[in-house]
Structure 1
C-alpha cells in the first residue's frame, strides 16, 4: 500500500512510475526512463575505481612504510597490516547496517568517504613531517632493537590516521556494491533476459576494481618509492576526493532504497518468538509452506525445511481473545525466511575465510619476499616489490572483458544460465585455483632461500609472478561470485548489510592470518620459529606457504559439501504483489 500511494503522487508526465519503493533524490518514486540502469551505475563505478585506487596504494605498500618509517619488526608489521585490512572489512557490517537502517547508501558513501579522505591526509602529513616519525634508521642493516620504533604521540597519530582510513573504507565498500546493484530493478535479477545485466554490472565493477588496483600498484607505488610516502598518501587522498565528486555528479540519476529502521530488530524478533513458542506444535507442512511470503514488493519462495524450529515464530496462538500479539511473540513468514536464509549462507561465508588468508600473504610476506630478490628490471630501474601485485591486474584487464564476451555466452549454451555459471560455481572455481597460488609461492621461496643461503645468489623477482597471477584469476572468480551471491540472496531492505558479509570474509581471513603467524611462531619456537626473524633467509616462509596450501585444499572440499547443502535453498522470485502475509494460525 505504501508503495502504491507513493506512485500515485509521482510525476504524471512520465508514462511509467516504478512501484518498488525506490525513490529519486527528491524522495519521489523512480521512473525507469530517467533513473537507474547502467548510466546511473557508471557513476558508482567511478567511486569504486577511485576508492580502490586510494586504499590499494596504501594497503599494498603499507608494510614497507611500517618497517622503514615506523621501525616495527617484520612479524609485528605484518600483523599491523593484516589487522588494519581486517578492521576495514569487519567494519563493512557497521556500514551496511547504518545504510539499510538509517542513512541509505548515498549518504553513507558520502559521509564516510570524507572520513577516509581525512585519514589519507593525516597519513600524508605524518609521512611528511620528521617530528611525527621515529629517527631514520635502516631496520635490516642495524642490530635487532637498535632502531627506535614509533611510540607515544607518534604511534597515536599513525594509528589514528590508519583507522580513520579503515573506518571510511569499511563503511563504503558494501554500499558501493549494493548501490550499483540497486540501479537495476529488483525483479531484473530474476527475469531471463534481464538477469544478465546485474551479472554484467558486477563484472564491470570488478573491472573498475582491477583498473584502480593497477594504477595504485604501478603509478602510485612507484611515486611512493621514488618521491616519498607523503606524496603517495596525498595522491590517495586526492583519488578518494575524485571518487566523491563522481558520486555527487550522478545524484539526479540514482534509484535510492530508503532506510526503513533497524534491520536487526526483525531478525531478533524471530529468535525471541521461536524460543518463546518452542513447546508449540507447528501446523502441517502444507499449511506452513503452501503460502507465499512477501518482501518490499517481492514474493520470497520459502527456501527449505532447514531450521524448521524458526517456523514456530509464525504460529498464531488461539487464546480466545482478539488482542494483537506483540511482534516479539508473533512474526511474519517474511521475517522467518530472512533469518532462515541468513543462517543458510553462513557456511558459504565461512568457506571463503581461508581464501582471504592467502590474500593476506600476498600483501605482506610476498612483498617482503620480493624485497629479498633481485628487483632490477634494467641497470638503472628497480621494480618496487609491492608493484608485483599489479601483474595479475594487467592480465585481468584483458581476461575480465574476454570472460564476459566469450566465456559467458559459451557457458550459457551448456548451462542455460544467463551469467554462464551460478555464483556458487564461480566461487568454487576460485577456491580451487587459490591452492595453486600457495603451492607456487612455496616452491619459489624454497628456491630463493636455497640460492641465497647455499650459493649466495639472488634470483630475479619475476620468479614470484606465478603466485600473484594464479591468485588474480582465482580472485576474479571468487570475489565477484561471492558479492553477486550475497547481493542476489538479499531480502527486502538488507542489500547493503548482506553484501557486507561478502567483504566481512576478508576481515576474518586477515585476522586468521595474524593468528596463524603468532601460532606458527609459538609452535615452532623450539627450532627458532618459522617467521620470527626479520631475515627471510633464516625464516621458513616456504613451510608456512605449504601449510596454507594444505588448509586451502581442505577448505575447497569443505566448500563442496556446504555449497551442495545450500543448493536446496530456493532463491527469491519476483512478484508485483505487496500484500503482507498473515501469520500462521495454530491448527494443532
Structure 2
C-alpha cells in the first residue's frame, strides 16, 4: 500500500508541476525585472495595444516630416528643386539604413525594449528641433523679396540638418524592433498565441497605414495652409504620445534577452557548415541534437527547401 501511495503522490506532483509550467511562457521570455512571466498577466493583446498605438503615432510623425520635405526646402530654405530632391533622397536613404544599427544593438546588447526607448528619445529631440526651427523666425532665412530669395546661413543649415538626421537615426531603433517586439508578446510554444501573432502583424501594418494616411492628407494640408510650425508641431506631439504609450505598457510586456552579436552567429554557422559538409544528417529532424530555446532568438522550423 505504501508503494501505491508513493506512486500516486509522485503522479499528482508531476501533474501539478506540469500545470504550473503551463501558466508560464515557454519561449524563454521574462518580465521587466528578468523573472519568468505568467501568461495571463503579460503579453498578448493587452500589451500589444500599447505597441500598436505607439507605432501609429510614430508613423504619423515620421511621414508628417518626410512627405512634404521637398516643399519646405524649396519654399522656406530657398533651395532649388534639384538640390532639395538630392537632400531628401540622401536623408531618406539614411532613414532606411539606420535600422541596421538598431537591429545589431537590440540583438547583441540592449534588447528590443531599451533600443526602442533610447532611439525614440533621440527621434523626439530631433522632432522638437525641427519644430523650433520652423517656428522661430530668426532660425529661418529671410522671406523672398520679389525674385530675390536669400539662402539659408550655415548656422541655419546646421540646426535644420541636426534635427533632420536625429530623426533618421532615431527611426533606426524603432523600425528594426517594433514589429519583432510585438511578436515577442506571443508565446511560440502556445498554439493559440501563435495564431494571435499572425493577426498582430495584420493589425501592425494597418496602424502604420492609418498613421501614414493622416500624414499625407491632414498634416500636409496644415503645413501648406496653417504654417510649418504647426505642421511640424502636431507630428512632434504625436511622437510624444507614441513614447508615452510605449512606456505605459512596460509592466505588461514580455522581454527576450539579447542573444549576442548576429554577426558572430553568422560566422559560426558558416564555419560549422564547412567543417561538417560531409556529415550524414538523419532524415528524422527530431534526432538532431539542438536546443529548443536560445536566449534572444526563436528556433526556426526545419525546412527541406535548402537541402
Equivalent residue, structure 2, for 1:35: 42
Aligned mates of 2:284, 2:122 — CA distance in 1: 48
Q: CA deviation at 1:122?
A: 0.7
> Superposed, which structure 2 residues align to 1:143-222 within 5 Å?
147-188=149-190, 191=191, 195-222=194-221
Aligned mates of 2:277, 2:258 — CA distance in 1: 36
Equivalent residue, structure 2, for 1:454: none
1:78 to 85, 90, 99: 85
8 Å contact kept, 2:188–2:194: no
8 Å contact kept, 1:45–1:205: yes
Going from structure 1 to structure 2, the CA distance change for 1:285 and 1:272 (only over 3 Å counts) comes to: closer
Aligned mates of 1:154, 1:295 — CA distance in 2: 55
Going from structure 1 to structure 2, the CA distance change for 1:14 and 1:106 (only over 3 Å counts) comes to: same
Q: CA deviation at 1:47?
A: 0.8
SS in 2 for 1:164: helix
Aligned mates of 1:236, 1:300 — CA distance in 2: 38
Going from structure 1 to structure 2, the CA distance change for 1:174 and 1:294 (only over 3 Å counts) comes to: same
Q: CA deviation at 1:94?
A: 0.9
Aligned mates of 1:265, 1:122 — CA distance in 2: 38
Q: CA deviation at 1:52?
A: 0.6
Going from structure 1 to structure 2, the CA distance change for 1:285 and 1:179 (only over 3 Å counts) comes to: closer
8 Å contact kept, 1:50–1:212: yes
- Give the structure-2-normalised TM-score: 0.83
Equivalent residue, structure 2, for 1:69: 76
Q: CA deviation at 1:14?
A: 8.8
When the two structures are aligned, how many residues end up with a matched partner?
A: 285
> Is 2:25 the partner of 1:18?
yes
Going from structure 1 to structure 2, the CA distance change for 1:185 and 1:288 (only over 3 Å counts) comes to: closer
SS in 2 for 1:30: coil
> Is 2:285 the partner of 1:291?
no
Going from structure 1 to structure 2, the CA distance change for 1:75 and 1:94 (only over 3 Å counts) comes to: same
1:92 to 95, 99, 118: 99
8 Å contact kept, 1:292–1:302: no
User: Which structure 1 segments of 5+ residues have no match?
Assistant: 1-11, 305-567, 571-588
Aligned mates of 1:196, 1:20 — CA distance in 2: 15
Q: CA deviation at 1:296?
A: 1.8
Q: CA deviation at 1:293?
A: 3.7
Q: CA deviation at 1:92?
A: 0.7
Equivalent residue, structure 2, for 1:536: none
- Runs of 4+ aligned structure 1 residues displaced above 6 Å come to 12-15, 287-290
8 Å contact kept, 1:292–1:301: no
> Is 2:102 the partner of 1:106?
no
Aligned mates of 1:264, 1:175 — CA distance in 2: 17
8 Å contact kept, 1:119–1:163: yes
Q: CA deviation at 1:151?
A: 4.4
State the Cα deviation string for residues 136-162 of structure 1 (Å, max 9, x = none). Answer: 228xx84xxx53433422111111110
Aligned mates of 1:186, 1:38 — CA distance in 2: 15
State the Cα deviation string for residues 32-87 of structure 1 (Å, max 9, x = none). Answer: 11111111111100110110111111111111111111122112212222222221
8 Å contact kept, 2:26–2:189: no
> Is 2:229 the partner of 1:230?
yes
After TM superposition, the structure 1 stretch with the greater mean CA deviation from structure 2, 35-44 or 280-289, is: 280-289
Aligned mates of 2:273, 2:249 — CA distance in 1: 44
8 Å contact kept, 2:106–2:177: yes
Aligned mates of 2:24, 2:277 — CA distance in 1: 45
Going from structure 1 to structure 2, the CA distance change for 1:303 and 1:252 (only over 3 Å counts) comes to: same
Q: CA deviation at 1:569?
A: 4.8
8 Å contact kept, 1:116–1:169: yes
Equivalent residue, structure 1, for 2:57: 50
Equivalent residue, structure 1, for 2:135: 128
Aligned mates of 1:128, 1:243 — CA distance in 2: 22
Equivalent residue, structure 2, for 1:393: none
Going from structure 1 to structure 2, the CA distance change for 1:13 and 1:248 (only over 3 Å counts) comes to: farther
Aligned mates of 1:79, 1:294 — CA distance in 2: 49
> Superposed, which structure 2 residues align to 1:373-412 within 5 Å?
none
8 Å contact kept, 1:104–1:258: yes
Aligned mates of 2:26, 2:107 — CA distance in 1: 19
Q: CA deviation at 1:166?
A: 0.7
SS in 1 for 2:41: coil
Higher relative contact order (CA 8 A, sep 6+): 2
Equivalent residue, structure 2, for 1:479: none
Going from structure 1 to structure 2, the CA distance change for 1:91 and 1:295 (only over 3 Å counts) comes to: farther
Q: CA deviation at 1:23?
A: 0.4
CA RMSD of aligned residues (A): 2.8
8 Å contact kept, 1:18–1:30: yes
8 Å contact kept, 2:43–2:185: yes
Equivalent residue, structure 2, for 1:116: 123
Aligned mates of 2:152, 2:111 — CA distance in 1: 39
